[in-house]
Structure 1
Amino acid sequence: MNAVIAAFRGFFKLLPTKVGLTFAFVLPLLFSVVWMTGYNGATERLGQLKVGIVNEGGEAGAAIEQEIRNRMPYDYASYSSLQEAQKKLNNGKADMIVSIPANFSADAQAGQGKLTFYLNKTSAETANGILSASAAQISSSLSQSQHGDSSQAHMASNIVTLNDRSNFATNMLPMILGFITYIAVMTMNIQLNIASMMLGRWHGKWQIFWARQLIYAGVAVFASLLTTGIARLFIDPAASFGAMWGFHMLVYAASICLTQMTFALFGGLAALVNTGLIPFQLMTAGNIVPAAMLAPAYRHVGDFLPASNGVQGFFRLVYGGGSISSFALHLALIAVIAWGIAIARLAWSKPKAQPVAQPAPSH
């Protein structure tokens, strides 16, 4: 028993034990605090969802548009054409489009009125679920408004989902390429940091730094090439192989530079810092709840994190529709700024003095 107690005390003399225990306590706590505060009251922020209305029904359509605006608590915008509205929907500037057709008034009087609601598969699941339910509610409310309780009180709602794909595996690919890449790079940098400390006995800090950059470049190019190629064996994304590969290299580069920067700034604690960024990136990725429905303090955090931009960009590449230029720009800025900070920190730091071997005492 004494030996066990001695071993128990020995554990607490080692830094890895302290770091491991910190992970065990801090990580669940961090997830709890971030997600509970970020998602808290999300369904009460429906007013942040943007709904576009295309009215081709003239004055009668204008009355319907106003009634829709009065019944549902969304942020509304009017568009002159369905093509313009669908472009906004694809680019994430709208969450749903309501189309009022030119013959709506005549059809409504005959009890055959129909509104078409457009959703986007690349939008958050929660938002699409809420808006899909609202579409049926809007049609039902308008039916009673137009016809009261008569037998004619029927107005159809036609829900069209843009960029829809039936293969469920397709839904997982943006998370694999955008988020798991960050996890893989974070784990890689933990090991490379240990290797760098070991190599510090024989090589200078700049030699080690540039050697690591060569490794990073190879990983960004070839790991993204392999993963993108394998993914395309199972699904047929809307984007070309070149676009998928190029964007994946950017995700790798941003993830590498960010995690490398944290090691330059925080040393051994960087593993905890990098892991601590995970709940922020999962929450702001936008595939479950749109960033607009999060607590205000969290809405723009994802712009500064690689996985958040990666997931959103890959949703558009995989499903089609919308530009990824803003996400690519964010990833490039993350990579450049984080890389610059890592270099500045390394230049400022002083190399650790190596112990000088002392001659053995003579007898």
Structure 2
Amino acid sequence: MRTLKLFMKRPTTWMGIATALMFQFIFSVVWMTGYEGVTDRTGQLRVGIVNEDQGLDKAVASKLQSSLPVQTVLLSDREEAMEQLDERELQMVIRIPSTFSADAAAADRQASLDFWINESNPSLIKSIMTSVSGQVTAEVNKAAVGEGVRQILAKVQPAEQAAAASAALAERVVGHVQPVNPVSGMNNQMIPMMMVLASFVGSMIMSMNLEQSSAALAAQTGRWQRLAARCVLNVAAAVGVSLVGASLIMALGGQAERGFLALWGLMFVMLLSFLFLTQMFLLLFGIGGMVFNILLLSVQLVSSGAMVPRELLNDFYANLGNVLPATYAVESGMDVLFGGPGAGRAVGMLLLIALSCAAVGAGTVALKPGRQPVREAAQAS
């Protein structure tokens, strides 16, 4: 207890705890409010349509404009459209070639549409525009098929019957998308990455400050007492910081399918593993261990599946992610927040990593020669 009190008297100790809390507060507020409603505002994106086919039914172009989830603008000049695309005034340009109608009516060739997407944009733009291009192709293909069938039937049936029959034949298969474990908005979709980033950076800075406090107290107390005090502070900070983080997420509209207590428990275990991991490198290498912690921050963002699906990673990063806590934090976070098979296995791995890092840290303290603390002034005299 004496060593713990000495730690609490050091300003660096309080600075470390405050930093861990600050990261939870800042990231939760900024990310949850900044990403709120992002997917609902796709209608603000603009797509240019350049129709070079004078024979194309105007109703087809009008229907295309009304069916897309983005703003559309009809342009007569392709060069103007490409200039606006390059300047990011448009996010995609669709060109209907002059031969489109003739190609669609011919039996020996296919009609084609041209799409240009400016990839010098956030990655979400490319994803949305790629989806829109598929929708455009499907809509125009349906219209072209219907028109082709109508022309054939018009030769043997009255125009009204031909139009009705062609509309039915053009849409024989309809797809219905039914989401499983739906996510409510992009701000919720970003929570797993936000939790990892805020918790690891906060843990990293807190561990650095506790290392400085420990070094300052080396002459007053033993190394085992200092390690025990740090472990107590880690557990206490994990409880308090996770409570603040989980409360902020829920207060700012975050969804938690498993409930608040499950989210709090998950964040506690996640913070515990991060704190003992970052502490381990500082015990091994002193303040120079921050280099490894900074490296781990980058590596975990890549390998955890928070930004890029792990199925798309190469073998090196996929295997590396198997031994790092952020991977299991993201996996369990998705289960707790959005629903899934359960977070038991991932939480167990987080606890195993925390215990392993604590054991390595204790082994490091045992093997390193420590300074003998000075005696009290009265004893020394």
Letter in 2 for 1:277: L
- Return closer, same or farther for 1:342/1:171 CA change in 2, 3 Å cut-off: same
Aligned residue among 166, 187, 194 for 2:184: 166
Which ranges in structure 2 are unaligned for 5 or more consecutive residues? 1-123, 150-165, 376-381
- Return closer, same or farther for 1:344/1:130 CA change in 2, 3 Å cut-off: farther
Residue 325 of structure 1 corresponds to which residue in structure 2? Answer: 344
- Which structure would you say has the larger Rg? 2
User: Percent identity between the aligned chains?
Assistant: 24
Deviation by residue 1:66-85 (Cα, 9 ceiling, x = unmatched): xxxxxxxxxxxxxxxxxxxx
Deviation by residue 1:225-248 (Cα, 9 ceiling, x = unmatched): 122122211224212111111111
Tell me, in whole angstroms, the C-alpha distance in 2 between the residues paired with 1:344 and 1:195: 20
2:273 maps to 1:284: no
Residue 105 of structure 2 corresponds to which residue in structure 1? Answer: none
Residue 270 of structure 1 corresponds to which residue in structure 2? Answer: 289
Counterpart of 1:300 in 2: which secondary structure? helix
Letter in 1 for 2:176: N
Counterpart of 2:177 in 1: which secondary structure? strand
Tell me, in whole angstroms, the C-alpha distance in 2 between the residues paired with 1:131 and 1:324: 33
Query: Do the aligned partners of 1:132 and 1:159 also contact (CA within 8 Å) in 2?
Result: no
Deviation by residue 1:44-86 (Cα, 9 ceiling, x = unmatched): xxxxxxxxxxxxxxxxxxxxxxxxxxxxxxxxxxxxxxxxxxx
2:355 maps to 1:336: yes
Tell me, in whole angstroms, the C-alpha distance in 2 between the residues paired with 1:260 and 1:278: 14
- Return closer, same or farther for 1:132/1:303 CA change in 2, 3 Å cut-off: farther
Give the superposition deviation at 1:334.
Answer: 0.7
- Return closer, same or farther for 1:339/1:354 CA change in 2, 3 Å cut-off: closer
Tell me, in whole angstroms, the C-alpha distance in 1 between the residues paired with 2:320 and 2:129: 24
Deviation by residue 1:90-136 (Cα, 9 ceiling, x = unmatched): xxxxxxxxxxxxxxxxxxxxxxxxxxxxxxxxxxx89x989979997
What are the equivalent positions in structure 2 for 1:178-189 lying under 5 Å apart?
Answer: 178-189=196-207
Tell me, in whole angstroms, the C-alpha distance in 2 between the residues paired with 1:192 and 1:232: 30
Give the superposition deviation at 1:164.
Answer: 2.2
Deviation by residue 1:179-233 (Cα, 9 ceiling, x = unmatched): 3101100000011101100000111101111111111111111111122122211
Query: Do the aligned partners of 1:239 and 1:320 also contact (CA within 8 Å) in 2?
Result: yes
TM-score (normalizing by structure 1): 0.56
TM-score (normalizing by structure 2): 0.53
What are the equivalent positions in structure 2 for 1:194-209 lying under 5 Å apart?
Answer: 194-209=212-227
Give the superposition deviation at 1:333.
Answer: 1.3
Tell me, in whole angstroms, the C-alpha distance in 2 between the residues paired with 1:293 and 1:261: 30
Residue 330 of structure 2 corresponds to which residue in structure 1? Answer: 311
Letter in 2 for 1:265: L
2:260 maps to 1:241: yes
Letter in 2 for 1:257: F
Letter in 2 for 1:350: P
Residue 210 of structure 2 corresponds to which residue in structure 1? Answer: 192
Residue 257 of structure 1 corresponds to which residue in structure 2? Answer: 276
How many residues end up aligned between the 2 structures?
231
Residue 175 of structure 1 corresponds to which residue in structure 2? Answer: 193
